[in-house]
Amino acid sequence: MFKQIGLIALLTIMVGCSENSTSNLSSDNTEERAEFMTASMGESVILTDDELDEFSLIRSESIGDIKVDMAIADFIPLLPCSVEKSEPVLWTGIGEIIQEWRYDECGVKIQLSTIDAKVDQSVSSITVIAPSEFKTARGIGIGSTEEAVFEAYEDQVDPTISELGESFVAGSIYGGLVFTFKEGQVTKMFLGGGAE
């Protein structure tokens, strides 16, 4: 799923760039030219490298050493609890076959996806709740304070979606880490795209 979202974002940028937007760059400012400029019907917007790579967090982040795009054989040893597997279902809206593996005793739900039944599934998202003891790559887990989350992920916060006392989105809901709070503590963590 991550690969398809990235491809769609890349194609959108490429189509937007097909319009002539170089006239908006000053010829003597090389730093400005090094940044990517998209064309739009109105005003041009200069995107930084970080904005172009909005999925950098999802590729580097993990919960309990489980990462997006991880193969099944790699995460199974990390989960000692029994698993309940849903039937694989084709989600026609995204063109992927989706399956959920629930490790209720561990407080973990993993969503797997593939674009073809003949291709191995990989992790598309991970959700954890109590009693999970898993931590993120920056040391946040169930029960961590909202303040600790902000300190750990302040550089990645999406302030347009995060709601004080309710949720904190690091990266993007399209590819990031979402923390849910109750009484100032983390009650749920989600890593993936298209947050629940």
Mean pLDDT of 140-152: 98
pLDDT of residue 174: 85
**What's the rounded mean pLDDT across residues 162-177?**
92
Same domain? 47 vs 83: no
The model's pTM is 0.72
- Does one domain contain both 16 and 113? no
Q: How confident is the model at residue 56 (pLDDT cuts 50, 70, 90)?
A: confident
Residue 8: the pLDDT is 53
Mean pLDDT of 12-20: 48
**Residues 40, 127 within the same domain:** no
pLDDT value at residue 193: 87
Same domain, 158 and 140: yes
Same domain, 66 and 147: yes
Q: Do 30 and 124 fall into the same domain? A: no
Most confident segment among 26-30, 37-41, 136-140? 136-140
Confidence of residue 7 (pLDDT cuts 50, 70, 90): very low
Cα 191 to Cα 141, 148, 158, 176, distances in angstroms = 12, 18, 14, 6
Q: What separation, in Å, do the N-terminal and C-terminal C-alpha atoms of the chain show?
A: 15
Q: Judge if 15 and 101 occupy the same domain.
A: no
Task: Say how many C-beta atoms besides its own lie within 10 A of residue 128's C-beta.
Answer: 27
Last residue of a domain, one of 36, 52, 68: 52
**CA–CA separation, 112 and 100 (whole Å):** 6
Q: Of 28, 52, 76, which residue sits at a domain end?
A: 52
Q: What are phi and psi of 180, to 5 degrees?
A: -110, 135
Total number of domains constituting the chain: 2
Judge if 24 and 120 occupy the same domain. Answer: no
| Residue 126 belongs to domain spanning | 56-192
Which tokens sit at 142? 């169930």
Looking at the structure, do residues 43 and 87 belong to the same domain, yes or no? no
Q: Rounded mean pLDDT of 170-181?
A: 92
